[in-house]
Amino acid sequence: MKKIIFFVLLILIFNSFIFAHSIMKSVDKQAEKIKIAVTILPQKYLVDKISGGEVICYALVPPGYNPGTFRLKPSQAIDLSKSKIYFRIGKVAFELSNIKKISQINKNLEIIDTSLGVNFIVAQEKCHQGHLDPHIWLSTKSLELQAKIIYKTLCRELPLKKEELKSNYINLINELKSLNQDVQKILKSLKSRTFFVYHPAWAYFARDYGLKQIALEKGGKKPSVGYLKEFIDNVKKYKAKVIFVQREFAQSSPQTVAKEAGLKVVSLSPLQYDVKDSILSAAKALLENE
């Protein structure tokens, strides 16, 4: 009996050792991975899709926060100090107000602008630096440009994974092209090419599909009495039924205006992780609420 108990204990100890060893190997493997920072979640989606999990990627602007007003937190300095690359999106206020601080935290951090090659739109609201609209991730065409920069960077950093990266990149590009075709089909039957939003985040989406967005927010602020009248007149002119909002912005102003103008309030998620779903959901929402 004692021999049996001893044998069972021996097996348990051996299994525990094997389990602990596998955990340590997993932790070591994670520690070896390159750490990459991005500004917003849609960028993380691109990095994750192309890297296939071969890097550790995190977004500096957390879910539910507005990249126009969010400020870098002291606790994020630890992650930045251990990061090798920072993919910036281009013109968002978070980057413009924090880029110097980020560079000082980690002087060896390689900062790569993924907006290179994008044909920027002049912003409706002048609160953006240089008056350029920063919402370039809401266009399949500009997403392809951003993906290409990310892909080339990852190939340089992970030369032994080039084949996997290439396969992942090609799959992503094909998915974006397929998404573009799906959105074109959805929007083909739209009667009105004009839609109403609180925050003007959808200019690149509108340009891609021959649409026009009219925003309630003006210069990053609540509308003046004069502009509010103009907005409501446009609602009547285009016989609009809905105003699109996003959770990162205060809801009181659009709710009040919606009530006055007889509009339904519909929430879209332009900053969610799955950027493809953001674009597809916007197209479906336009058709469903026509």
How high is the pLDDT of residue 248? 73
Indicate whether 217 pLDDT > 80: yes
Domains 29-184 and 188-288 share a fold: yes
Indicate whether 206 pLDDT > 50: yes
Where does the pLDDT of residue 271 fall: very low under 50, low under 70, confident under 90, or very high at 90 and above? Answer: very high
Architecture of domain 29-184: 3-Layer(aba) Sandwich (3.40)
pTM of the model: 0.86
How many CA atoms lie less than 13 Å away from 75 in the CB half-sphere?
3
* Mean pLDDT along residues 230-250: 88
How high is the pLDDT of residue 250? 65
Where does the pLDDT of residue 257 fall: very low under 50, low under 70, confident under 90, or very high at 90 and above? Answer: confident
Tell me the percentage of the chain whose pLDDT exceeds 70: 86
Enumerate the domain spans of the chain.
29-184, 188-288
* Mean pLDDT along residues 230-256: 85
Quote the tokens at residue 134.
């920063």
Q: How far apart are CA 89 and CA 46, in angstroms?
A: 12
* Mean pLDDT along residues 80-100: 95
Indicate whether 83 pLDDT > 80: yes
Say which residue, 18 or 252, is predicted with more confidence: 252
How high is the pLDDT of residue 22? 43
pLDDT tens-digit readout, 167-176: 999 999 999 9
pLDDT tens-digit readout, 43-74: 999 999 999 999 999 999 999 899 988 999 99
* Mean pLDDT along residues 258-264: 87
Lowest-pLDDT range, 90-94, 105-109, 129-133, 252-256?
Answer: 129-133
As a whole number, the mean pLDDT across the chain is 88
Indicate whether 129 pLDDT > 70: no
How high is the pLDDT of residue 19? 47
Q: Give the class (CATH, top level) of 188-288.
A: alpha beta
